[in-house]
Amino acid sequence: MADQNVRNAGFTPSGIAGGSLASSLMSQEARASGGGVRSGGPTSTLQGMGAKGTTHSSGYTSSGISGGSRASNTMSKEATSHGGGVPRGGTTSTVQSISMGGKGGRR
């Protein structure tokens, strides 16, 4: 289900769907970073997963983040760099939210 939720949000094998949650997220992220979407950020992470259908195998599941997975490693690094917490709108919270059918951790 997680992979389908990512595709439903507009992260597809053929790219980001116009007018979708994905395009809105990409636009917000680009404006916040001065015009570009960074590698490893929410948009690029979700697009890679949407293109390959690897959300669940990466550890972002409908029941939460799987221990020992790529997702848990990302969450740990993000928490460490932010003093112990995972920021709203960061890669971990956004990818997990969309994987569960949510709107992402928008800023």
Q: Could you read off the pLDDT tens digit of each residue along the chain, which spans 107 residues? A: 578 888 989 999 999 999 999 999 899 889 988 988 888 888 888 898 888 877 778 888 878 899 999 889 889 988 898 888 888 888 888 888 888 888 776 54
- Distance of alpha carbon 98 from alpha carbon 100, whole angstroms: 5
6-12 long-range Cβ contacts below 8 angstroms, 24+ apart: 6/46, 6/49, 6/50, 6/55, 6/98, 6/99, 7/50, 8/101, 9/46, 9/50, 9/98, 9/104, 10/50, 11/46, 11/47, 11/49, 11/50, 11/51, 11/98, 12/50, 12/51
CA angle 60, 63, 69 (to 5 degrees): 35
Whole-model pTM over 0.85: no
What's the pLDDT at 10?
Answer: 92
Q: What is the pLDDT of residue 88?
A: 83
